[in-house]
Structure 1
Amino acid sequence: MENTHPHTTAADTRRSFTSYVAVGDSFTEGMCDDLLPDGHFRGWADRVAAALAAERPDGGFRYANLAVRGKLIGQICDEQVPSAAAMDAELITLAGGLNDVLRPGCDIALVRGRLGAAAEALLAGGATVVMFTSTDPARRMPGGTRLLPAILELKAFVEGIARDSGGRAVVVDLFTAPCFDDARLWAEDRLHLSPEGHRRVALAVLEALGRPSAEDWRTPLPPAAPAGRAAKLRADLRWLRTHLGPWIGRRLTGRSSGDGRPPKRPELLPYEG
């Protein structure tokens, strides 16, 4: 029996795809997943590509990943969406806007406008477009509550795109999945997914595309032994020094972790995972 859930908008039919393009930022690039032999992170999008390629043993499946860490929604629209649309792929995943929301003074109306324009451009070519709602930062991050109004606004906006698309856009709702409150689904930087987090997002995308799964990706991990106060303090200090400090430094100087970095799979080529 197919694994369905009221908070994931699933595709109406189990369409067999021959091509897939991933568009977005570090979330889609695969930051902090296991490393591939070529030095790139694997990521949930690669995991989705591998599953879809396995459905076509003739080797007739192609995959491109244009996502680059640190990109704002305007950069995604300008640098990735035209290329993705020109590839004429049957499946496109679109994730973006969270880097904008994390910055003080975010113009959420502008983010909505650019994200909507990106979805419209990609849907115009006839592709199935998968979009995402963010996880809930208020449940796991100190200070995450200040991000919640913008996160909820984007959530409603993305769900509206899917609702109005006639089934051509589908939404993976990570916001309501409590498993993502678990620190073990996140990397040490607390911003990017761990390998287990990427694995679960891949299952969520495949579910939204009508693929049955033997497990529910929302199931919480077994309880972890509570960390002592000293260990927690050491981890917090390491995070401040290693991750938060450099992130703030880049914001103050107008730099991005993705500056000058090319996509890991810029061309729509046969996938050999």
Structure 2
Amino acid sequence: MSNGQYLRYVALGDSQTEGVGDGDDVTGLRGFADRLAERIAAVSPEVRYANLAVRGRLASQVRAEQLGPALTLRPDVATVIAGVNDLLRPRFDPDETAAHVEAMFAALTGAGAHVATVTFPDIARIAPIARPVAPRIAALNDRIRLAAARHGVALAETSPHAAATDARLWAADRLHASPLGHDRISAALAHALGLPGSDDSWTRELGPDTAATVGAVRTAAAELRWAAGFLGPWLLRRLRGRSSGDGRAARRPELLPVGRPQVSS
């Protein structure tokens, strides 16, 4: 690779990388990885792109299920974003989770790939009911920073920027990025990778949100509606030992030219 010219991009991860929140399962998902592939294609039109992500996967599962296939595809650039599903579990261990992420960093960079990742914003600023999770996010971010530094992984530091917790960048479930949010993530990763034409504009705050004036201060009723509509079903799946990714496969398991149809799961 030189001057941002990549030939094979492979994305590993969970629902965020799969593209949940940007499109749907009927019309198709897009997501930050598709958007990043498009940014790479603007520099290197011959690039091919695979997305191995599956929603609901823990970091250990991403490593066990996606790392081997990713290495087989011989990427020269890869994104690895995992750990959010872990930190939402009752028995979260930041060291164990980060160890799985670091193992993927080591294997991919060792195989010659340029790897990029992100730190996670504090979702408690979007969903106050999730405030107990904030220390977990900080702990995981600290370990991701150290692992990225050890392996020369490009790091997009989304967590320090106020724009990252603007409600307009998040889907209604407050767990996944909206289309605008996915676009910001792709811009952050492009900037971290040093793609020509990328800059730090993704860090800047959005203008005033006039539509949000009435709901600027979230009420207890709004939090309860969110908990009933999104958090409750998520917790129920956990109690039943189920995942949103059960029965799903990667939507784009092979390297294809950017813009080619994805594989339905």
- TM-score (structure 1 length as normaliser): 0.86
Aligned to 2:77: 91
CA RMSD, 1 decimal: 2.3
Correspondence 1:262 to 2:249 = yes
Counterpart of 1:114 (choices 100, 117, 132) is 100
Match of 1:154 in 2: 140
2:231 is equivalent to residue 239 of structure 1: no
**For residues 108 and 43 of structure 2, what CA distance do their matches in structure 1 show?**
24
State the partner residue of 1:21: 10
Q: 1:126 aligns with which of 92, 97, 112?
A: 112
Higher relative contact order by CA 8 Å / sep ≥ 6: 1 or 2?
A: 1
Aligned length: 257
Of 52, 56, 67, 2:44 maps to 56
- 1:164 is aligned to 150
**CA distance 1:231–1:123, shift in 2 (3 Å):** closer
Identity %: 41
**Partner Cα separation in structure 2 for residue 109 and residue 231 of structure 1:** 34
Query: 1:188-238, CA deviations, whole angstroms, 9 ceiling, x for partnerless residues?
Result: 111000111011111111111113347711211222232259995664444
Deviation digits for residues 68-119 of structure 1 (CA, Å, limit 9, x no counterpart): 1110011101100111111111000001011000111212221122111121
- Structure 2 unaligned segments of length 5 or more: list them: 261-265
TM-score where L is the length of structure 2: 0.89
The 2-side partners of 1:24 and 1:228 are apart by: 33
- Does 1:78 find its partner at 2:92? no
- Distance in 1 between residues matched to 2:216 and 2:109, nearest whole Å: 50
How far apart, CA to CA, are the structure 1 residues paired with 2:18 and 2:157?
19
Q: Distance in 1 between matches of 2:49 and 2:154?
A: 19
Deviation string 1:125-161 (CA, Å, 9 cap, x unpaired) is: 1100101111122433224332233222221222222
* Structure 1 CA distance for aligned equivalents of residues 199 and 77 of structure 2: 23
Deviation, 1:32, is 1.0
Q: Name the CA distance, whole Å, in 2 between partners of 1:151 and 1:118.
A: 19
Task: Sort the Cα spacing of 1:54 and 1:83 in 2 relative to 1 into closer, same or farther, 3 A.
Answer: same
Please state whether the residue corresponding to 1:135 is helix, strand or coil: coil
